[in-house]
Chains A and B, each alone.
Chain A
Amino acid sequence: MIEFIIRLALLFCSISMLGLIYRVIKGPSVADRVIALDAIGVNLVAITALISIVLSSHAFLEIILLIGILAFIGTVAFAKYLEKGVIIERERNH
């Protein structure tokens, strides 16, 4: 029973990821694409957790936190690029 539910959850995660990939390709502005990529990272976390349940291993639990941190750094870097035009400033003006 639990096996079936996890497979179903994996299927729904894949479907939502397909919708997000559609938004990445089609998105009218860059911000849409960035948010879609961030949400793909969150979906990837969910899929990693579900697959580690299916394989009944705890070897992937580090990967979950890693994907979360990397998605955060990537989104912040892109947001700063969109806002200020540079990612790493030499000197702040405030």
Chain B
Amino acid sequence: MRRTNNIILETAIKVLLFFIVLYSVYIFTAGHYYPGGGFIGGLMTAGAIVLLLITYDIKTVEEFLPVNYRILTAIGLLFAIGTSAGSLLFDVPFLTHAFGDVQLPILGELSLHTATLFDLGVYFVVVGVTMTIIQTIGEDE
């Protein structure tokens, strides 16, 4: 019997996956000044994991990426609620964000915004929900 092996795909994935994940992180971090943001960045990360699932199988991917995606969704929602409710501690309305220039040792002067943490919550929720949907459908025999 002819044994099918997809060595070309597996080798190509090893190179391509790095670029896709890097691109999704770039799109996530550039969301404040350029097109992009948490939603599309999360979808691209989920796309990278889907590419892994297509190349290998569910068990192999779970082995080297042991993430429970339902808990990831919960963590994302916690991030969103935490950054919105954190403003209540400073006597300002709900969802008020703070920003400022921060001097860091290696990176130099950075303009940081708490909206990024809210966006990180969106990112986690999108990755978690997409992967939950795809894995649930994929495991169904």
Contact = CB atoms under 8 A, between A and B. Distances in A.
Interface string A75-93: 0110010011001111110
Nearest to A87: B54
Contacts of B27: 62
A70 B47 contact: yes
A91 B36 contact: no
A62 B34 contact: yes
A66 interface: yes
B138 interface: yes
Contacts of A83: 4
Contact of A91 (B50, B59, B137): B59
A70 B9 CA distance: 16
Contact of A88 (B6, B36, B134): B134
Chain A interface size range: 20 to 34
Question: Chain B at the A interface: mostly helix, strand, loop or mixed?
Answer: helix
Given A59-B35, A62-B36, A69-B20, A88 B47 contact: no
A70 B48 CA distance: 10
Nearest to A90: B58
B58 A69 contact: no
Contacts of B6: 80
A72 B51 CA distance: 9
B25 interface: no
Interface string A33-47: 000000000000000
Interface string A50-84: 00000000010011011001101100110010011
14 contacts: A62-B27, A62-B34, A62-B36, A69-B23, A73-B50, A73-B51, A76-B9, A87-B138, A88-B53, A88-B54, A90-B59, A90-B139, A90-B141, A94-B3
Given A69-B47, A90-B138, A91-B58, 16 more contacts: A59-B35, A62-B27, A62-B35, A65-B23, A66-B40, A73-B50, A73-B54, A76-B51, A76-B54, A80-B54, A88-B57, A89-B58, A92-B56, A92-B57, A94-B3, A94-B4
